[in-house]
Each structure stands twice: as structure tokens, then as C-alpha cells.
């Protein structure tokens, strides 16, 4: 196959206040025509910088190509002027971005922005360009394209905008499509649709794709070849199948373990990569990965390994051979482990009363929720008139047992976060009852409510936004203590120190400020704050979604450890199904304000009863390259909770829906032991 | 859309009513008797004073005065001057065009100069034009008009003799006052739009636009500027208030006709009905301009239009 893009020894510098920083060094990669290459690595590894170097968009961001060549179809992109590049951008190479919501200019219509691009590169009349744009929108699966053309970006959903973005990128028939985390901001169901679309279009438009992702599952699914970046260098590159079967670099191996481990059942400790990616201003000597590498030797500490090619793949590691023999040896023992584990699980299932958290006098349930509703009145609707509500949570009943982790999954807009907030009384329920232990929460006000709050804490999604940047860590963690307990300064200091240690941070960090910490460390600080008052219950709303996989695994381990030590009960809300599976005892699936299925975690994944659950599970990209899944990715998008469909709310997207589903709303029915689902025709 | 505009118009009416009330109360609370400015209290007999008070209607209970005041306002009667019994409104209407010309010229100047400088300085950040823009911004908001006005007067009419120092006939007399007043507006607009541009330039969609191969000119002027102007438009409405207030000083410094001059004279003469009339009139102008700004806002920002 002919080579379309060739990057040789590319180095990129950034001008910063602290001087020049080398963000990429000697990166080489090639993409052949019709090939899909995935660039993977943690955040900060240089993936996006590589893509922006190809587009030469770096010039606008204080970046500079310090060395190396980038050739697109024989043309040296590093030698072209911005003016010459402009006629290539959008025409020969085009780009799709991570945040579809932010990638369009909000004050022009979708149609305007498409036509603008087409007319920039091709001499077509306005009318021709408009028609071409309409056909593109139709091709990428946007319903009613003529109406969408006249709409503004704010009026479309994220999934629709990403499709429109792809249409925009395709508008002048590029040969190279660069997609920078194109599905990261989207739900798994929409992610599956977009990935499928990209693959179809690749064939149809005969493009090459450079796909940047942190998700190895996506790479396994669509890549022909994978390039792994670490701290601005290529750690490894190989054909996808070979890379996933036998990684030649310990970093790749670590990433794979972090992902694969999430597929496992609860209780097992996850393998993760220790520490986090180094900052560009403080790179270690020798091999950049050595501080986090289990194989590191003196040689690694002193000498940077070159990228050595063998059999059509390449890795930059002194100890590839050691890694390979270690992997082979482990494979045997891993099989034994799995057998042991399944035996344990069978035992546990046979003897359910063996749960250590059950005490005879108290009810086994910590939370009992019945008939819970939370409606928001739509702006502009008059009070007293019916139907003008967003039904975020609509008649939900379930229980959370003491000491368990209850997982809650569903697409965005399904009402999971609202449910969590109503449970904690951060928002008042519209109707229904919530019992917490032996107290009725819905009627509590003032001091009584504050008293209960001690027992219910929360961990937030965004580790950056949830810590006050002007408070030091000691004050942040100590605030709940200050509010609820009378402690002297030295007692408080002592408690904060112990809390920091219990989340795996150094006690001396109490005097530092949030900006000095990485995302994973900040999340640990948030956890320390949540457990400061020894609560009974912790709500973790997307607590690990913003973190890199390797760090996710660390935080998940911490959460499990704390649960065992402190006897915590968790409600774990996430859109990442694998994490939920790993952490949860039982899982509830939400769709448009309704709980449609509740089952023990293992049961749910093995035998989903609701077609929605099945579709969610099928949408997860799997890093296991051998198991190419059947694609029954869900069609369409979640409807508006202001006007939910009649009958079963899922019937508009359900492959099995009948006339009955349209009229009659299914009740939650028992499917098996501890397994309920709201479906007329459970699978 | 029409409903939204009607709603805004209604609330504007309330603002005018509220500010009229406020002016009335303030005038009432001012120390001193309005009669004092008409006759010398030491030489007048109590009967003379009482009869004058009766003539002016200030001997009536407060609520009667208030009802009378609003009743007349609704009929367009702004009262009569204490000094020469001239009706106030016709006098304001007569002199308003001069002030309008001044305000319009300075508004035009501040918007054109302000936006242009702001864009250039954001595009060429840290270059000389950026330094100029920042200086204009600083001077504009920090120099008092009575000082900058006199400075301009000294340079351009006393020393260089290019422009007339006073009067209100012809466009040449407008240049210096408008420049003085426009400098304030330009200062505010430069700072505001520059910051807003620098923010917009860092938005994700700017990267998209460049990745489509658009020229920097389209990226900056067609896309970034329109987004950056959204917060600035509201401020332009508020600037009108600044301009009206500034007119009081400017018209005095440059000896121009106008309602600013009227109010300045009336204040010195304690001619309360005139002061009151000009303030109410200015409030109406201010509210009208801001109503227009709000309407135009929804044309610039489609999100506002669709939400309405």
C-alpha cells in the first residue's frame, strides 16, 4: 500500500513562561492509504500535539516544529507557509474534535458553516454547496437534514453535532481524516454509532484515518495499527492484533491491564500503573517510563532506549524480552486464578447469607426508596398546566443494602444524577418517600437534615472544579470536621493527616493547594473529604470518568479498600459500564427517568433481561481483540424527558417493540433471584 | 419574539415610572425651600412667601403634589421653570438635537475606534498596536472629561488653531467635544472587547475554523468578532448613560447648547422643575436606547432569539 502520511523524527517545542518545553521528541509514524492508525496514551502523552503538528495548527498555540519532517502525499508540510497550508486544510486533510458542543461557532447556523467550508475550497454556487451540504448531513445519519441546516449548534444534541462535524470534515473529500477523541464526550451508545459511521465512511470516501484515543477498546475495535505515545515519545507501535496479543512495552502492557481488569468481577484488586505521567518540565533521565515500570533496571535509569524495529513492529524498551517471558509465564497462572475465582463466586451465590454486613436487628436496607419523582417545571410554562415538566425521575422504587455498592448506569439524560442528588436531599423530591436507615428523609429540614448529612457524603466527577483553588488541602478536608465536630486545631490537624494517609497521600500535603496535584491525586483529596465524618453512605457521581484508565484503576482500588475498612455503602453512578461492573454488587439501569432493570452485577452482564441493558453492554468497545462483538448498537438517541414516549419509554428505540409496548407501560417484574426488569418481553 | 419585545417594553415603562418617582422624592427631600431662590426671604413678608408657595403648589400635601406631578407627566407637561415660567418640555425638545448630535457622534467614535483597536490589539497581541490600545483603554476610563476636554481645547484650538473652541454651529464645533466624550466610550469598549476577543480566540471552535482552511481574516472578523461583540453590545447601551452625564460637563466646557447645559444652569439657579424635567427626559432616552440594544442583541446572538 502507498504511504499517505509520513512523519519522521518529529520534535515539537512550546514557548512557555518557563522557557522552551519539548512536547514531542523524535516521533515517527506512517499511515498508508485506506489505513486506520490509532494514537493512544494517557493525557499529556502528546497525542493531540501530534495531530495539531500535522495540521500545522501548532503555529497558533506557541508551538514550533523543532525538527523532523511531515510528508502528506509527498508534500513536506513542515516547509509550507500558512497560506499554502490553508488550501490543504479542510480539503486534503480534515479534522474532527473531541467536544462537538464547542467545535461549532455558536452564532452561525450549521448550514452556514458547512457551505462556508465547501465554498472555501471548491468553486460552487451557494445553491450547489447548500445541496451538497444537505446530502452530507443525510449521509452521516442526521434526520431531516434540511431543517438542521437552518439550526444553530446549540439546538442539536452532542451526538448530532458530532455527526455534523464529521459531515463538515468530509465536505471536500479529504484523503486524511484526523479524529481527536471523537467519541469521548458522548454516551457509549452514541459512541458505537459514531465509530461505525467512521468505518463506513472510510471505505466510501477511501480515506485514511488517524484516530486519537485514550480508550484502548476503541483502538482494538477500529485500528489497523496502533502507536502508543508516552511523554512525547513513541513507546511502541505495532499492528493492532499483535499489539493487543503481545505488548512489547511495559507501558502498553500496563494500559491493557488497567482496561482488561475492569472487566473482572468485584472484589479483585485492579492492576494499575503506579504513579502518573511526568510533567514535561520535569522529565526523568533515561527511559521516561522507568519511575513507573516494574521492569526498570539501572540501565533504564541512565540510558534512553531507542525505538527498535522487529518483525514490522517497534518498541522502545530495554526489557522487551523479559516482558514477553513474564507474560507467557503469567498466562498459565492467570487461567488458574480465573478458575479459582469462579469457584469462589459459585460458593458465594450458594450461600448468600454469608454477607458480613448483615446484622440481625437492623433492616438490611440502608436506603429504601418508593415512588420517587423529581419533576422540573419548564421555563415559561404557566403553573397549574399539566405536561409542561421535565420528568427527570419518574416513579422509581428500589433499595440500597448496607455495605453494598449499588451501581447506576444509563445514557446522559436518563436521570441518574438527579436521582443521586434527590437521595442526598440536595434537591427536594416532587413526590415519593426516601428512608435512610430508620429515618424518613423527605420531610427533614434545618438542623435535623444537617445532622443526617453527616452520614451521607458525595464524591464529584470533576476533580478540578470540586476543590476550592484558594483553600489548602488541609482546610478542604477539614471543612466538614469544622462544621460538624468541635475539634481543637491540633486534633483537626491530626485527623486530616490520618485522612490523607488513608487515601494514599502524604500527610505533609495538607499545606499545599489543589493546583499542585494531578487529577488522580485531587480525586483522592475529594475522597478524603467525603470520608472525613465517617459517613455510612457515599454517593460517587461519575467519580472516575474524568481520569485516565491507569489512574481510574488506582482510584477504584482505593474506593474498594475504604469500603472494606470503613463498612461504607456506595451509590456509584457512571456511564462507563466496565467500572460499574467491577465495583458494584448490584446494578440498576435507568432510562428516561425510570429504573428498567436491577440485577446483581454478574447476572446483569451475563443475562441482561431488558433490551436496553443488552444494547448498553453491546456498545462497550472491548480491548479484547479476539472477541469482536456483534454490533447491535442502539439506533437513535434518548428522547426528551419533557415528552417521554407512551407505554414503555424505550419502545421508540427497541428492536423488539410491539403494539403492546406502545400502549402499556411495563412494571418491574421478577426475572430471577434478585433480578427484576420492566419489559413485556424480557430476553 | 414579539411577545418578548412587548415584555421588555412594559418593564421599560416601569423603569421610567420608577425613576420619575425617585427624582420627585429626591427633589422633595433637598434642603431649602424652592421659594428661597425666587425672593429674598429676609425682605419678603410672610404673606408674600405664603402666596408664592400657594402659586407654586408646594403648600399642598405631598400625595397631592405627587398625583399632580404624575398626572401632568402623563400629559407631557413637565412643569414650568421657576425663573421665567417657561414650560420645561419645549425647552428640552428645542435643545435636545444638539445633545443628540454630540452623543451620537461620540458613540459612533467610541464604537468604531474602540472595536477597531480592540480587534487589532487582540489579533496582534503584545505588538505596538496592542500597547496603543491598552493606553487608550487606560486613559479613556481614567481621565475625567473636564480635564481631557480642556487639554484637547488647549492643543487643537488654542495652540494649533485647527478647530473652534466653542459654539454649536456646524460639524467643526462638534469634533473636540465628541472626541472628549468618545474617548471615555472608546476606553471602555477597547478593554471590554479586547478581553472578550482574547477569550473567544481560545475557544475550541476557532481551531475548527482554522482546520477548515479559512483565512485568518474570516476567522477573526467573521467569527471571533461577532462572538466577542455579544457582551459588548449590552455595554454600548449603558454607555449612553455615560454620554448623557458627560454632556453636562462637556457642554459647559465647550460652551455648547444642549440639555446638559440647561441642567447645569438650572442646578446653579436652583430651578428645580427644569432639573427634574431633564432627568426624567434623560431617563426616557436611556431606557429607549437600552430597549433597542436588547432587541438588536437577539439579532446578533441567535441563542437569545431562539430562547425568546
Structural domains counted in chain A? 2
pLDDT at site A633? 64
Please measure the distance between the N-terminal and C-terminal CA atoms of chain A and give it in whole angstroms.
46
* Statement: residue B184 has pLDDT above 50: yes
Could you tell me the strand order of the sheet in which A594-600 lies? A456-459, A537-541, A569-573, A405-409, A586-591, A594-600, A675-677, A669-672
pLDDT < 70 stretches in chain A: 1, 260-268, 330-363, 379-387, 623-633
Q: Is residue A116 part of a domain?
A: no
For residue A292, the domain's CATH number is: 3.40.50.300
Contact A247, A236 (CB under 8 A): yes
Length of chain B: 308
pTM: 0.81
> What confidence tens digit (pLDDT) does each residue in B99-113 have?
888 888 998 899 999
| Long-range residue pairs from A255-258, CB within 8 A, at least 24 positions apart, any chain | A255/A40, A255/A42, A255/A216, A255/A228, A255/A549, A255/A550, A256/A216, A256/A623, A258/A549, A258/A550, A258/A552, A258/A553
Report residue B111: phi and psi, to 5°.
Answer: -70, -50
Contact B246, B181 (CB under 8 A): yes
- Using the Cβ of B303 and the Cβ atoms of chain A, whether some distance falls under 8 Å is answered with yes
Question: CA A92 to CA A85: how far, in whole Å?
Answer: 10
State what percent of residues in chain A have pLDDT above 90.
Answer: 50
Question: CA A391 to CA A378: how far, in whole Å?
Answer: 10
Q: Is residue A263 part of a domain?
A: yes
- Using the Cβ of B3 and the Cβ atoms of chain A, whether some distance falls under 8 Å is answered with no
State what percent of residues in chain B have pLDDT above 90.
Answer: 21
pLDDT at site A444? 85
ipTM associated with this complex? 0.80
Report residue A459: phi and psi, to 5°.
Answer: -115, 135
Q: Is B104 exposed, middle or buried (0-12, 13-18, 19+ CB in 10 A)?
A: middle
Nearest CA to A666 out of A611, A614, A617 is that of A611
Contact A583, A266 (CB under 8 A): yes
Question: CA A323 to CA A325: how far, in whole Å?
Answer: 6
Question: CA A193 to CA A531: how far, in whole Å?
Answer: 39
**Cα A360 to Cα A355, A357, A364, A565, distances in angstroms:** 12, 10, 8, 21
Give me the residues paired with residue A20 across strands.
A15
The neighbour count for residue B236, using CB atoms within 10 Å, is 22
Question: CA B159 to CA A165: how far, in whole Å?
Answer: 61
Q: Which residues contact A126 (CB under 8 A, 6 or more apart)?
A: A115, A119
Cβ distance A152 to B208 less than 8 Å, yes or no, reads no
* Statement: residue B233 has pLDDT above 60: yes
Q: Is A125 exposed, middle or buried (0-12, 13-18, 19+ CB in 10 A)?
A: exposed
Contact A39, A50 (CB under 8 A): yes
Contact A250, A294 (CB under 8 A): yes
State what percent of residues in chain B have pLDDT above 70.
Answer: 97
pLDDT at site A631? 57
The DSSP H or E segment spanning A365 is: strand A365-377
Q: Is residue A649 part of a domain?
A: yes
Question: CA A572 to CA A464: how far, in whole Å?
Answer: 20
Question: How far does B190 lie from chain A, in Å, by closest CA?
Answer: 22
Segment B199-212 shows an average pLDDT of 92
- Using the Cβ of B215 and the Cβ atoms of chain A, whether some distance falls under 8 Å is answered with yes
pLDDT at site B82? 80
Three-class secondary structure of residue A266 per DSSP: coil
Give me the residues paired with residue A315 across strands.
A236, A308
Contact A108, A117 (CB under 8 A): no
Domain that holds residue A614: 601-621+634-682
DSSP H helix total and E strand total for chain A: 23, 24
User: Chain B residues with CB inside 8 Å of A95's CB?
Assistant: 208, 211
User: Chain A residues with CB inside 8 Å of B302's CB?
Assistant: 106-107, 109, 152, 154
- Using the Cβ of B203 and the Cβ atoms of chain A, whether some distance falls under 8 Å is answered with yes
pLDDT at site A499? 93
* Statement: residue B29 has pLDDT above 60: yes
Which chain B residue has the Cα nearest residue A113?
Answer: B209
pLDDT at site B256? 87
Task: Tell me how many degrees the CA angle A568-A574-A577 measures, rounded to the nearest 5.
Answer: 105
- Using the Cβ of B227 and the Cβ atoms of chain A, whether some distance falls under 8 Å is answered with yes
Nearest CA to B96 out of B253, B285, B307, B298 is that of B285
Segment B72-76 shows an average pLDDT of 86
Of residues B160 and B37, the one with the higher pLDDT is B160
Nearest CA to A271 out of A260, A280, A281, A282 is that of A260
The alpha carbon of residue B106 and the mean position of all alpha carbons in its chain are separated, in whole angstroms, by: 10
Contact A672, A603 (CB under 8 A): yes
Which chain A residue has the Cα nearest residue B224?
Answer: A105
Three-class secondary structure of residue B28 per DSSP: helix
Nearest CA to A179 out of B210, B208, B216 is that of B208
Lowest mean pLDDT among A39-53, B32-46, B151-165: B32-46
Task: Tell me how many degrees the CA angle B221-B225-B227 measures, rounded to the nearest 5.
Answer: 135
Cβ pairs bridging A and B (under 8 Å): 77
DSSP H helix total and E strand total for chain B: 13, 0
**Cα B248 to Cα A7, A420, B180, distances in angstroms:** 67, 59, 13
pLDDT at site A627? 54
User: Chain A residues with CB inside 8 Å of B210's CB?
Assistant: 57, 60, 89
> Tell me, which fold does domain B95-269 have in CATH?
MetI-like fold (1.10.3720)
- Using the Cβ of B125 and the Cβ atoms of chain A, whether some distance falls under 8 Å is answered with no
User: Chain A residues with CB inside 8 Å of B306's CB?
Assistant: 152, 154-155
Q: How many CA atoms lie within 13 A of A529 on its CB side?
A: 28
Selected for mutation to probe chain B from A106, A150, A185 (highest B CB count within 10 Å) is: A106
Q: Is residue A480 part of a domain?
A: no
Nearest CA to A619 out of A194, A219, A139, A167 is that of A194
> What confidence tens digit (pLDDT) does each residue in A372-412 have?
999 988 765 555 555 578 889 999 999 999 999 999 999 88
* Statement: residue B235 has pLDDT above 70: yes
Question: CA B247 to CA B95: how far, in whole Å?
Answer: 12
The DSSP H or E segment spanning A507 is: none
Nearest CA to B60 out of B71, B45, B76 is that of B71
Question: CA A328 to CA A247: how far, in whole Å?
Answer: 11
Within chain B, all domains assigned CATH 1.10.3720.10 are found at: 95-269
Which chain B residue has the Cα nearest residue A152?
Answer: B302
The alpha carbon of residue A23 and the mean position of all alpha carbons in its chain are separated, in whole angstroms, by: 25
> What confidence tens digit (pLDDT) does each residue in A497-507 have?
999 999 988 88
Contact A68, A26 (CB under 8 A): yes
pLDDT at site A670? 92
Contact A3, A31 (CB under 8 A): yes
Amino acid at each position: 500500500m502507498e504511504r499517505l502520511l509520513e512523519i519522521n523524527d518529529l520534535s515539537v517545542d512550546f514557548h512557555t513562561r518557563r522557557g522552551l518545553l519539548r512536547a514531542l521528541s523524535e516521533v515517527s509514524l506512517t499511515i498508508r492509504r485506506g489505513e486506520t492508525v490509532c494514537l493512544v496514551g494517557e493525557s499529556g502523552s502528546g497525542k493531540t500535539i501530534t495531530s495539531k503538528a500535522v495540521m500545522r495548527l501548532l503555529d497558533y498555540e506557541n508551538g514550533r516544529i523543532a525538527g523532523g519532517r511531515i510528508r502528506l502525499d509527498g508534500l513536506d508540510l513542515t516547509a509550507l507557509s500558512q497560506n499554502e497550508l490553508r488550501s490543504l486544510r479542510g480539503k486534503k486533510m480534515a479534522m474532527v474534535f473531541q467536544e462537538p458542543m464547542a467545535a461549532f461557532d455558536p452564532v452561525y447556523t450549521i448550514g452556514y458553516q458547512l457551505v462556508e467550508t465547501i465554498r472555501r475550497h471548491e468553486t460552487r454556487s451557494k445553491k450547489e454547496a447548500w445541496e451538497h451540504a444537505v446530502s452530507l448531513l443525510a449521509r452521516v445519519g442526521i434526520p431531516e437534514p434540511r431543517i438542521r441546516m437552518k439550526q444553530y449548534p446549540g439546538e442539536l444534541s452532542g451526538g448530532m453535532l458530532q455527526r455534523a462535524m464529521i459531515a463538515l470534515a468530509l465536505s471536500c473529500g479529504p484523503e486524511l481524516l484526523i479524529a481527536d477523541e471523537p467519541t469521548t464526550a458522548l454516551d457509549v451508545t452514541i459512541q458505537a454509532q459514531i465509530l461505525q459511521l467512521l468505518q463506513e465512511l472510510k471505505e466510501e470516501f477511501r480515506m485514511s484515518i488517524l484516530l486519537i484515543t485514550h480508550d484502548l477498546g476503541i483502538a482494538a475495535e477500529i485500528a489497523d495499527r496502533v502507536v502508543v505515545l508516552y511523554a512525547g515519545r513513541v513507546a511502541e507501535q505495532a499492528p493492532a492484533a499483535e499489539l493487543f496479543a503481545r505488548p512489547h512495552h511495559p507501558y502498553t502492557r500496563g494500559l491493557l491491564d488497567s482496561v482488561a481488569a475492569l472487566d473482572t468481577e468485584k472484589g479483585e484488586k485492579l492492576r494499575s500503573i503506579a504513579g502518573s505521567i511526568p510533567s514535561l518540565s520535569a522529565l526523568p533521565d533515561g527511559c521516561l517510563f522507568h519511575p513507573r515500570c516494574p521492569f526498570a533496571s539501572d540501565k533504564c535509569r541512565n540510558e534512553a532506549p531507542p525505538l527498535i524495529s522487529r518483525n514490522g513492529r517497534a518498541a522502545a524498551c530495554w526489557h522487551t524480552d523479559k516482558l514477553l517471558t513474564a507474560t507467557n509465564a503469567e498466562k498459565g497462572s492467570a487461567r488458574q486464578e480465573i478458575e479459582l475465582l469462579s469457584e469462589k463466586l459459585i460458593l458465594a451465590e450458594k450461600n448468600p447469607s454469608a454477607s458480613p454486613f448483615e446484622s440481625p436487628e437492623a433492616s438490611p436496607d440502608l436506603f429504601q426508596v418508593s415512588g420517587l419523582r423529581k419533576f422540573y417545571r419548564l421555563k415559561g410554562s404557566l403553573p397549574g398546566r399539566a405536561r409542561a415538566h421535565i420528568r427527570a425521575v419518574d416513579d422509581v422504587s428500589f433499595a440500597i443494602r448496607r455495605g453494598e455498592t449499588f451501581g447506576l448506569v444509563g445514557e446522559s439524560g436518563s436521570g441518574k444524577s438527579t436521582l443521586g442528588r434527590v437521595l442526598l436531599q440536595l434537591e427536594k423530591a416532587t413526590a415519593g418517600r426516601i428512608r435512610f436507615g430508620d429515618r424518613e428523609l423527605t420531610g427533614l429540614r434545618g438542623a435535623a437534615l444537617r445532622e443526617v448529612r453527616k452520614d451521607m457524603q458525595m464524591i464529584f466527577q470533576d476533580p478540578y472544579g470540586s476543590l476550592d483553588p484558594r483553600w489548602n488541602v488541609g482546610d478542604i478536608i477539614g471543612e466538614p470536621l469544622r462544621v460538624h465536630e468541635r475539634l481543637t486545631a491540633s486534633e483537626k490537624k491530626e485527623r486530616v493527616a490520618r485522612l490523607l494517609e488513608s487515601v494514599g497521600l502524604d500527610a505533609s500535603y495538607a499545606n499545599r493547594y489543589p493546583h499542585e496535584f494531578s487529577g488522580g491525586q485531587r480525586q483522592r483529596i475529594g475522597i478524603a473529604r467525603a470520608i472525613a465524618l465517617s459517613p455510612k453512605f457515599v454517593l460517587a457521581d461519575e467519580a472516575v470518568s474524568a481520569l485516565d484508565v491507569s489512574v481510574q484503576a488506582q482510584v477504584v482500588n482505593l474506593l474498594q479498600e475504604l469500603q472494606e475498612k470503613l463498612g461504607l455503602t456506595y451509590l456509584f453512578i457512571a456511564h462507563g459500564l466496565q467500572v460499574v461492573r467491577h465495583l458494584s454488587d448490584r446494578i440498576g439501569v435507568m432510562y428516561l427517568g425510570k429504573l428498567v432493570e436491577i440485577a446483581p452485577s454478574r447476572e446483569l452482564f451475563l443475562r441482561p433481561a431488558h433490551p436496553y441493558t443488552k444494547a448498553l453492554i453491546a456498545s462497550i468497545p472491548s480491548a479484547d481483540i479476539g472477541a469482536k462483538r456483534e454490533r447491535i448498537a442502539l439506533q437513535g438517541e434518548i428522547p426528551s424527558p419533557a415528552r417521554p414516549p407512551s407505554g414503555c419509554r424505550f419502545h421508540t428505540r427497541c428492536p423488539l417493540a410491539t403494539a403492546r409496548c406502545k400502549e402499556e407501560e411495563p412494571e418491574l417484574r421478577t426475572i430471577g433471584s434478585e433480578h427484576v426488569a420492566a419489559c413485556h418481553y424480557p430476553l | 419574539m414579539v411577545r418578548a419585545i412587548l415584555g421588555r417594553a412594559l418593564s421599560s415603562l416601569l423603569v421610567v415610572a420608577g425613576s420619575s418617582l425617585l427624582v420627585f422624592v429626591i427633589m422633595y427631600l433637598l434642603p431649602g425651600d424652592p421659594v428661597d431662590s425666587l425672593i429674598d426671604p429676609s425682605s419678603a413678608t410672610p404673606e408674600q412667601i405664603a402666596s408664592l408657595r400657594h402659586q407654586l403648589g408646594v403648600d399642598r400635601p405631598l400625595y397631592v403634589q405627587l398625583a399632580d406631578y404624575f398626572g401632568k407627566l402623563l400629559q407631557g407637561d413637565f412643569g414650568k421653570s421657576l425663573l421665567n415660567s417657561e414650560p420645561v418640555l419645549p425647552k428640552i425638545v428645542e435643545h435636545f438635537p444638539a445633545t443628540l448630535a454630540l452623543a451620537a457622534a461620540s458613540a459612533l467614535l467610541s464604537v468604531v475606534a474602540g472595536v477597531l483597536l480592540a480587534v487589532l490589539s487582540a489579533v496582534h497581541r503584545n505588538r505596538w498596536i496592542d500597547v496603543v490600545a491598552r493606553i487608550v483603554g487606560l486613559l479613556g476610563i481614567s481621565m475625567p472629561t473636564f480635564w481631557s476636554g480642556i487639554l484637547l481645547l488647549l492643543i487643537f484650538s488654542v495652540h494649533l488653531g485647527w478647530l473652534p473652541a466653542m459654539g454649536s454651529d456646524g460639524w467643526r464645533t462638534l469634533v473636540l467635544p465628541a472626541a472628549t466624550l468618545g474617548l471615555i466610550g472608546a476606553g471602555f469598549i477597547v478593554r471590554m472587547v479586547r478581553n472578550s476577543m482574547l477569550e473567544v480566540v481560545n475557544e475550541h471552535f476557532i481551531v475548527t475554523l482554522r482546520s477548515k482552511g479559512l483565512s485568518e481574516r474570516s476567522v477573526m472578523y467573521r467569527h471571533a468578532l461577532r462572538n466577542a461583540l455579544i457582551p459588548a453590545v449590552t455595554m454600548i447601551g449603558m454607555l449612553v448613560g455615560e454620554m448623557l452625564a458627560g454632556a453636562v460637563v462637556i457642554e459647559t466646557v465647550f460652551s455648547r447648547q444642549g440639555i446638559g447645559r440647561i441642567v447645569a444652569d438650572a442646578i446653579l439657579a436652583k430651578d428645580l422643575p427644569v432639573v427634574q424635567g431633564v432627568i426624567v427626559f434623560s431617563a426616557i432616552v436611556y431606557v429607549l436606547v437600552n430597549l433597542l440594544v436588547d432587541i438588536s442583541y437577539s439579532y446578533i446572538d441567535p441563542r437569545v432569539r431562539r430562547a425568546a
